[in-house]
Structure 1
Amino acid sequence: MELKVLIIDDDLVSQFASRYCIEQSISNCRTIVYDTAEAVLNMFADPLHNEEDVPDLLFLDLVMQGMDGWEFLEKLKIGSNALQKTDIYILSAFANSNDRARAKGHPMIKGHFDKPLSKSIMDKILHSKKQ
């Protein structure tokens, strides 16, 4: 079964590093990258979107131009159920203790990790996905 992974991050270097790590860790995956959270919300709000495109994993940056990661999660909670079965992980460049505490208590978030994404983090995520 192909694993579908979505990255929402406005930084090109982080996008590349995350995609590279994911594709090195998972042999059978499809990785999709968006540089804005608005684009992802619009995609899932479109009645023509394909249910098969719902990702298994989503890596979300918190600090982005326009809509940040927290606002994305809030709008996602209010709107579509499209990502209900998706495991959402925060990838952040800033070790902010408030964000960590907020992520830990957030019902939609499975985990919070510092950038860059590493093979050991991916192994941990994939192991928890199998259980």
Structure 2
Amino acid sequence: MLNKILCVDDDPITLMLYKMVVSKSGFSSHVDTAHNGEEALHYLDKLLEQNEDYPHLIFLDLNMPVMSGWEFLDLFTREKYVHFPECKVIVLSSTIDPADIEKSKSYPMVIGFRSKPISKEMLSELAHLS
């Protein structure tokens, strides 16, 4: 079981589903959410400022307004975020474009690319990766 995860998606129903499935599966004891990449970076910045525990896994959507998942990943690779060395990312997207899957592999913190929606079965698989 992971102590804390972060789910980043612009759809509030999807975020509610993430929280429900994660809670029922016992995958994590705490789930935080963000509605876009910018909000996720503000969340991480706040954790840095307050020296709080960080999420060990981020579920990240790619297509979001304000700041996309790609933009988030570009910024998350900056030196400022080296304080989160064990924070891994699973891209959860409705896209099945092979170019997106390949691009996600270029980010060292991305450990997987899965299609939405999240499920208990998916979390069981991911328990071995994270």
TM norm structure 2: 0.87
1:120 counterpart residue number: 121
Structure 1, gaps ≥5 residues long: none
Give 1:37 deviation, angstroms: 1.4
* Matched-pair identity in %: 28
Give 1:19 deviation, angstroms: 1.5
Give the aligned CA root-mean-square deviation in angstroms.
1.8
Name the CA distance, whole Å, in 1 between partners of 2:88 and 2:26: 16
Cα deviation 1:2-40 (Å, max 9, x = unaligned): 620100111112111211111111165100111121122
Contact 2:5/2:28, CA 8 A, preserved across alignment: no
Indicate how the Cα distance of structure 1 residues 117 and 27 shifts in structure 2: closer, same or farther if over 3 A, else same.
closer
1:95 counterpart residue number: 96
Contact 1:58/1:87, CA 8 A, preserved across alignment: yes
Name the CA distance, whole Å, in 1 between partners of 2:108 and 2:27: 29
Name the CA distance, whole Å, in 1 between partners of 2:27 and 2:98: 34
Paired residue total: 128
2:111 counterpart residue number: 110
1:67 counterpart residue number: 67
> What letter matches 2:24 in structure 1?
Q
Name the CA distance, whole Å, in 2 between partners of 1:81 and 1:115: 28
1:30 aligns with 2:30: yes
1:13 counterpart residue number: 13
Structure 2, gaps ≥5 residues long: none
- Bigger drift between 105-114 and 39-48 goes to 39-48
| Consecutive aligned runs of 4 or more in structure 1 exceeding 4 Å deviation | none
Give 1:84 deviation, angstroms: 2.2
- Bigger drift between 24-33 and 3-12 goes to 24-33
Name the CA distance, whole Å, in 2 between partners of 1:18 and 1:34: 12
1:49 aligns with 2:17: no
Give 1:44 deviation, angstroms: 2.6
Indicate how the Cα distance of structure 1 residues 82 and 38 shifts in structure 2: closer, same or farther if over 3 A, else same.
farther
Name the CA distance, whole Å, in 1 between partners of 2:4 and 2:35: 17
Name the CA distance, whole Å, in 2 between partners of 1:16 and 1:22: 10
